[in-house]
Structure 1
Amino acid sequence: MTNEQPAGFWSYTHRDDELDDGRIVRLSERIARAFEMITGEPLEIFLDKRSIEWGDAWRARLDSALTGTTFLIPVVTPKFLKSQECRREVIKFAGHAASLGLDDLLLPIHYANVPQLTQSSDGQPNDEVVELISRRQWADWRDLRLEDEESPVYRQAVHKLALKIADVLENAPPVRPVEAPPQDEATEEPRGFIEVMAEAEAALPAWLQIIEKFGEVITLIGAETSWATEEMTKSDARGGGFAGRMRVAEQLSVRLTGPVEQVDKLGSEYWSTLSSIDPGIIGFIRRAGESDLAAEDRQVARDFFKEIKQLTAATKETTGHLKGYSDSVGGAARGSSHLRPQFRTIQAAVQKVIDSQTVVEEWNRMIDETDLED
Structure 2
Amino acid sequence: MTNEQPAGFWSYTHRDDQLDGGRITRLSERIANAFEIITGEPLEIFIDKKSIEWGDAWRMRLDWALTGTTFLIPIVTPKFVQSQECRREVIAFAGHAASLGLDELLLPIHYVNVPQLAHGAEERPADEVVELIARRQWVDWRELRLEDEDSPAYRQAVHKLATKLAEILETVPPVAPVEVAAIGQGEEEPPGFIEIMADMEATLPAWEDTVQQFAKIIELIGEETQQATEEIQASDSRGGGFAGRMRVTEQLASRLTEPVDKVDALGSKYWAELSTIDPGVIGLIRKSGDDDLSAEDRESAREFFRAIKELAGTTNEATGHLQSYSDSVGAAAQGSRRLRPQFRVIQAAVQKVIDGQSIIDEWRRMIDNLGEDGS
Partner in structure 1 of residue 365 of structure 2: 365
Distance of aligned partners of 1:66 and 1:320 in 2 relative to their CA distance in 1, 3 Å threshold: closer
Q: Percent identity?
A: 71
Verify: 1:130 aligned to 2:130, yes or no: yes
1:164 aligned partner, one-letter code: K
Closer/same/farther in 2, CA of residues 244 and 48 from structure 1, 3 Å limit: same
Give the distance between the partners of 1:192 and 1:68, measured in 2 at CA.
28
Instruction: Tell me whether 1:255 sits opposite 2:255 in the alignment.
Output: yes
Q: Residues 144-163 of structure 1, C-alpha deviation per residue, up to 9 Å, x if partnerless?
A: 10011111111111111011
Letter in 2 for 1:313: G
Structure-to-structure mapping, 1:150-189, within 5 angstroms: 150-178=150-178
Letter in 2 for 1:59: R
Letter aligned with residue 2 of structure 1:
T
CA RMSD of aligned residues (A): 1.9
1:223 positional shift: 1.6
- What is the aligned partner in structure 1 of residue 319 from structure 2? 319
Normalised to the residue count of structure 1, the TM-score between the two structures is 0.94
**Deviations, residues 180-224 of structure 1 (Å, cap 9, x unaligned):** 9xxxxxx96656634542442343232122112111211211121
Question: 1:21-60 CA deviation, whole Å, 9 max, x = no partner?
Answer: 0110111111111111111111111101113542431331
Structure 1 residue aligned with 2:15:
15
TM-fit CA distance, 1:79? 0.2
Structure 2 match to 1:26: 26
- Would the alpha carbon gap of residues 199 and 165 (structure 1) be closer, same or farther in structure 2, given more than 3 Å must change? farther
Q: Structure 1 residues 66, 97: CA separation in 2 closer, same or farther (over 3 Å shift)? A: closer
Read off the aligned partner of 1:265 and give its amino acid letter: A
**Paired residue secondary structure (1:64):** helix
Which residue number corresponds to residue 203 of structure 2? 203
Local SS of the residue matching 1:68: coil
Superposed CA deviations along residues 85-110 of structure 1, whole A, max 9, x for unmatched, are 00000000111111111111100000
Q: Secondary structure at the match of 1:290?
A: coil
Structure 2 match to 1:115? 115
Q: How does 1:56-135 map to 2 (within 5 A)?
A: 56-65=56-65, 67-122=67-122, 124-135=124-135
Give the Cα separation in 2 of the matches to 1:196 and 1:165.
36
**What are structure 1's unaligned runs of at least 5 residues?**
181-186
For 2:167, give the aligned amino acid: D
Q: Does 1:293 align with 2:297?
A: no
Q: Which SS does the other structure have where 1:74 is aligned?
A: strand
8 Å CA contact 1:289, 1:372 repeated in 2: no
Alignment-mate amino acid for residue 144 of structure 1:
L
Q: Is the 8 A contact 2:120 2:131 kept in 1?
A: no
Aligned to 2:183: none
Q: 1:89 to 1:216 in 2, by over 3 A?
A: same
Alignment check: 8 A CA contact 1:78 1:112 kept: yes
Q: Measure how far apart 1:170 and its partner are.
A: 0.9
